[in-house]
Amino acid sequence: MRDEQTQTQRPQWGSRLGFILAAAGSAVGLGNIWKFPYITGENGGGAFVAVYLVSIAVVGLPIMLAETLLGRMGQSSTVGTYAKLSSPRSGWVLAGWLGVLAAFMMLSFYSVVAGWTLHYVWLALSGGLTAVDAEHLPAVFNALRSDGPVNIAWHVAFMALTMIIVLGGIQRGLERAARVLMPALLGMLAGLLLYCTGLDGFGPAFDFVFGFHAEALTRDGVLEALGHSFFTLSLGMGAMLTYGSYMRQRDDFITTSIAITLLDTGVALMACLVLFPITFSYGMEPSAGPGLVFQNIPVALSTLPGASSLTVIFFLLLTFAALTSAISLLEVVCAYFIDERGWTRRQATLVLGGAITLFGVPSALSMSAAPFMADEHGLVGRNWFDSLDYLVSNWMLPLGGLLTALFMAWRVGDEARRVAFDRGTSLGGAGQVYLAWLQLLRFLVPITIALVMLHAVGAL
Ligand code: PFF
């Protein structure tokens, strides 16, 4: 089996569609359905969405192209790719390390939220959600968040699922999971959207998401929109680079990257157009924070026939979305140890998956009354969970993206970059696309990221 020949021949995706689904599986996750709607709600809607869409187009897509191409060129983990395309002693290798570290940190708290989705599957299955009326749903969510042992149990269960898939390898694990889970997720979301177009709140929700209300946007909101465009596209930590490294040289990385970006953005907007009509129709608050999806969906579905099965299906699909993203985070970390340190996939998955599970325990306890979990014990006045999220999403990912852009645009040799870009591209006018992309990576992308970061620290 090709998958197992890690030492002699690196594994590859079985097909281009397999790669698209796996990479879209990485991109589409809790970031789209859980996080994007709630941060949009907290930042007042339209203007935030506009900044996010611009970030996706002018910063996210060029970096997505750079990451997948770097991976295809390097045929190695993120650290290995930076080393191969510069030199093993070069400082650029640190950019690869930054990715491994960010993936390690992110999976530790991502899995806690994914654990909440598992808990909601369980609640829905046991009828624990349909028995509760709308006003009490926030209390159900808060009770879960503050229950340390329950959070730990679901976090461990989710990490175990993630490790089982990563153990299966590229084709039999990652690709197979994405082929089943992604179409199911898209179908369910489309069905919900159709239902929500009929709700009274659809009009106000549409205006909330697409109307430009500039006054609601803050300094931190701009940073958050930029940070989120990295988070949602799985950029800045080498996930797309690692997935790109399993691409065949003849695969078209341009149309593939565009497809992944469009799918991801489409799902995020669809999620908003599902959640906000419900919010407005049932008189709830758009700024409900992390509980938004957990409080809204059970209310909306409760009026439909078969409410409890629909709720089970919804939270199961949210779990699937989280799972296809989590496996890419674990893969970033494992790939380094498999490619550079000669570990077997089994060793890497068990040891690193275990380490991430342990590192996630304080995140699982963050909202409980456990000692040292209050806001003042974390960084920047936040609890451990929020500190990690803030640090990784708002700082490490943009920094990783900045380094990716600078490396591709200024360090990788002209000739090698051009040849690699042209290989496997079926796009007409590839020459112009190449030049436009390079100019974006050289100037606009780094300047935008740097400005937003300076702005965030108040230096501008
Ligand atoms: N893109 C995922 C989401 O939106 O939920 C999160 C993520 C996965 C970020 C993998 C980064 C990554 F490497």
Q: Domain segments of the chain: what residues?
A: 2-456
Pick the CATH number of 2-456 from 3.40.190.10, 1.20.1740.10, 2.40.50.100, 3.30.200.20: 1.20.1740.10
Task: Provide long-range contacts, Cβ within 8 A and 24+ apart, for 345-353.
Answer: 345/6, 345/166, 345/167, 345/169, 346/167, 349/163, 349/166, 349/167, 350/163, 350/167, 352/104, 353/159, 353/162, 353/163, 353/166
What integer pLDDT is reported at residue 373 of this predicted model? 67
pLDDT (tens, 9 = 90+) of the chain, 460 residues, equals 344 444 457 899 998 888 999 999 999 999 999 999 999 999 999 999 999 999 999 999 999 999 999 999 999 999 999 999 999 999 999 999 999 999 999 999 999 999 999 999 999 998 878 766 777 888 899 999 999 999 999 999 999 999 999 999 998 898 998 898 889 889 989 998 998 999 999 999 999 999 988 888 888 888 889 889 989 999 999 999 999 999 988 888 999 999 999 999 999 999 999 999 988 988 888 888 888 899 888 887 887 777 788 888 889 889 989 999 999 999 999 999 999 999 999 999 999 999 999 999 999 998 887 766 666 666 666 889 999 998 998 889 999 999 999 999 999 999 999 999 988 777 766 788 999 999 999 999 999 999 878 877 777 6
The rounded distance, in Å, linking the Cα atoms of 446 and 404 is 10
What integer pLDDT is reported at residue 154 of this predicted model? 98
CA nearest neighbour of 75 among 9, 170, 163:
9
Query: Residue 364 corresponds to which tokens in the numbers above?
Result: 């699982």
Does ligand 1 lie within 6 Å of residue 221's CB atom? no
What integer pLDDT is reported at residue 374 of this predicted model? 66
Give me ligand 1 centre to Cα 27, in Å.
5
CA nearest neighbour of 318 among 97, 45, 39, 28:
28
Query: Residue 328 corresponds to which tokens in the numbers above?
Result: 């890419």
Does ligand 1 lie within 6 Å of residue 232's CB atom? yes
Query: Residue 2 corresponds to which tokens in the numbers above?
Result: 């090709």
Name residue, tokens 């100019």: 439
Give me ligand 1 centre to Cα 301, in Å.
27
Q: CA of 13: how far to CAs of 2, 3, 126, 200, in Å?
A: 10, 9, 39, 45
Give me ligand 1 centre to Cα 106, in Å.
9
CA nearest neighbour of 331 among 2, 1, 30, 10:
10
Does ligand 1 lie within 6 Å of residue 234's CB atom? yes
Does ligand 1 lie within 6 Å of residue 329's CB atom? yes
- CB contact burial 13-24 (16+ within 10 A = b; e otherwise): bbebebbbbbbb
The rounded distance, in Å, linking the Cα atoms of 348 and 104 is 13
Nearest protein CA to atom 7 of ligand 1, as residue: 234
Show Cβ contacts of residue 357 under 8 Å, excluding neighbours closer than 6 positions.
108, 111, 155, 156, 159
- CB contact burial 134-145 (16+ within 10 A = b; e otherwise): eeebbebbeebb
DSSP state for residue 32 in the 8-state scheme: I
